[in-house]
Amino acid sequence: MASLALSFRAKEKNCFSQSSYLIEFAFYAFAVYKENLKEVKEELNEVGKLIEDLLTRQSDLLEKKKSLEQIIQEHNETSKNVNSDWSKEDFPWSEELNTTLKDVFKLDKLRPMQLQTMNITMAGKDCMLIMPTGGGKSLCFQLPAVLSKGITLVVSPLISLMEDQLMALKTLDIDSTTFNSNTSTADAKTIQTAMTDPNSTLKLLYVTPEKLAKSKRFMNKLEKMYEMGRFSRLVIDEVHCCSQWGHDFRPDFKFLGIMKRQFPTVPILGLTATATLKVLDDVKNILNIPHCQLLRASFNRPNLYYEIRTKPSSFSDTMTEIKTLIQTRFSGQSGIVYCFSKKDCEEVTIDLQKNGIPTGCYHANLTGPERSRVHEKWSKGKILVVVATIAFGMGIDKPDVRFVIHHSISKSIENLYQESGRAGRDDKKSCCIVYYRLADVFRQSCMVFTEQTGLKCLYGILAYCLNVKRCRRSMIAEHFGELWDSSHCNGMCDHCDPNSVCKYFPQSNMTTHCRNILLILQQAAETDQKLTALKLIDAWFGKGPASLRVSDIKEKNITVEKAEKIIGFMLLNDYLKEEFHFTAYTTISYMKHGKARLNCSKE
């Protein structure tokens, strides 16, 4: 603006007529207004961005407010149920319940929430129980099943879960069985006869949701069983699978929505260890039990030690570290190693076996008898380690599991909590270790991005792994909507343990690092090139095709490990986003600019 004024004054001295002066003045005024208009537009653009940010922030705060109000309401409801008449021991069935607990189940006392849950379901009321893995959810329906006339139908998502519970029930001499895709024709006929036989001693019948959804004959038998008054209750284990907002949605679980309409007087008992408030509300609506009794135990397992480790870049280095852990820290002890794929399972199993560690492999491609054999040998201590996909472990009841190691990250906080919760059911100290590497995030993202909340759940576990200061338990509590004081961790996570040495996330020059990454992406976009995270890091370190390198970016003495964490940070904060492309054989994740703004000008 000043330069325009000086220019005008200089020209004013040389003007010889009023008309030429006016013309010059008009040009000058036009330039001034044009400049002002440009400034106003730029300011309006900035104000628009600020308004957009504030509206987003307002939306986030309103959602958080609603969540906190729900937590308080749920806490009050749970406290009311816990402290209400449901905790009494003067019901008509109370004496028999205590006798059966000791004589049949060989237990001296109940755990928190178990008595209230049993009383609610024995009274014929609908109930939802959220209890941590290892808290004793199975007993909440198995004991009432023994006391009740007729049959308790248990819907479970995995055959391995059923097998584990049936093995335990068999040792207690409780008549129970399963009806699934592996059931022979002869066994199916025997089971269906028992369902409508008033003299049958069958107490627990386990089925998969697929069997309910796809077998009209079985549903007809259920209707007959109901008419005869032999359908005592419906139990839905892992009830979060009903909701598409959950981490493990299964379409056939939605079929269970008709059960309340078909069998209105049959009480429903839903069980889960992992349900957020949104999932819980959705499940109630799907099952048509909006006013069911709600019981929620604390998520906290005080005997579990949570730890995150950086995964070495090579398979052999990773296995060397895991083998050392098993042979020293967990020598002679039982554990589980979870892997991302069936191929990973087989490779890890072979490597452990070669080093003299008694190990079994468990995944969906193995035959049913082979999976059962591995499960039984591990349960009896004949092998120490099971290497498995997530197909293994839901509902297992082996008390002395001393470690759960994740060879790669889980796909959500819910999955991590559930899988790690299979350790330490005897209440003794056990360790839950996750090996984190950015490459595993992209292996998962290419699998889950089509799910309703797939990427959101995955980025939740990414944030959990990258955080360098917060108590691990406080992060899990926040995810599940529970208030938590991190001082109660008692040093049982790698951030609260005074003897732990954590590798902290790099804070210095973060803006510079982020700017450099965005400049590389900007240059790639200008030349119509796509970058995976690996190619992006290579370009950042001056490797790979010259066309992807930005000349004025110099590597700042940063390790690849730290570079991966910075890219993870940028994904979490929306400076970067994943864009997925399909090929004939696979899905590829490319890095793109996110919505968050960062000045990446080259000047």
Tokens of 195: 């369902």
Query: 3-class DSSP state for residue 363?
Result: coil
Compute, in degrees rounded to 10, the torsion defined by CA atoms 20, 26, 29, 33: -150
Q: Is the CB of residue 476 less than 8 Å from the CB of residue 303?
A: no
Of 364, 363, 333, 327, nearest to 345 (Cα)? 363
Q: Looking up tokens 């959950």, which residue turns up?
A: 246
Which amino acid, 525? Answer: A
Of 279, 274, 281, 267, nearest to 296 (Cα)?
274
Tokens in use for 278? 């949104």
- CA gap 315, 301 in Å, rounded: 31
137 is catalytic: yes
Candidates 422, 421, 373, 433; CA nearest to 396 is: 422
How far, in Å, are 243, 335, 371, 418 from residue 393 at the CA level?
21, 11, 12, 9
Q: Are strands 359-362 and 334-338 parallel, antiparallel or unpaired?
A: unpaired
Query: Which stretches of 383-532 are DSSP H helices?
Result: 413-420, 438-448, 454-466, 472-479, 510-526
Euclidean distance between CA atoms 583 and 563, whole angstroms: 28
Token pair in block for residue 376: 């039984």
Q: Which residue, chain included where needed, has tokens 């090139």?
A: 529
Neighbours of 291 (CB within 10 A): 8
User: Which of the following is catalytic: 137, 411, 535, 565?
Assistant: 137
Give the type of residue at 124: G
Q: β-strand 587-593 against 334-338: which pairing, if any?
A: unpaired
Q: Do the Cβ atoms of 419 and 292 come closer than 8 Å? A: no
Packing angle, helices 560-572 and 533-540, rounded to 10: 120
In three-state form (DSSP H/G/I as H, E/B as E, the rest C), the secondary structure along 272-320 is: ECCCCHHHHHHHHHHCCCCCCEEEECCCCCCCEEEEEEECCCCHHHHHH
Could you tell me if 402 and 424 are in contact, meaning their C-beta atoms sit under 8 angstroms apart? Answer: yes
Rounded CA separation 420/432 (Å): 6
State how far the Cα of 459 lies from the Cα of 562, in Å rounded to an integer: 18
Burial string for 496-522 (b: 16+ CB within 10 Å, else e) reads bbeeeeeeeebeeeeeebbbbbbbbbe
Tokens 């056939």 sit at which residue?
A: 252
Compute the chain's Rg from CA coordinates: 31
**Token pair 């269970």 is at which residue?**
256
β-strands 576-582, 587-593: how paired? Answer: antiparallel
Helix axis angle, 185-195 to 216-227, nearest 10°: 20
Q: Residue 308 forms beta bridges with which residues?
A: 434
Which residues carry out catalysis? 137
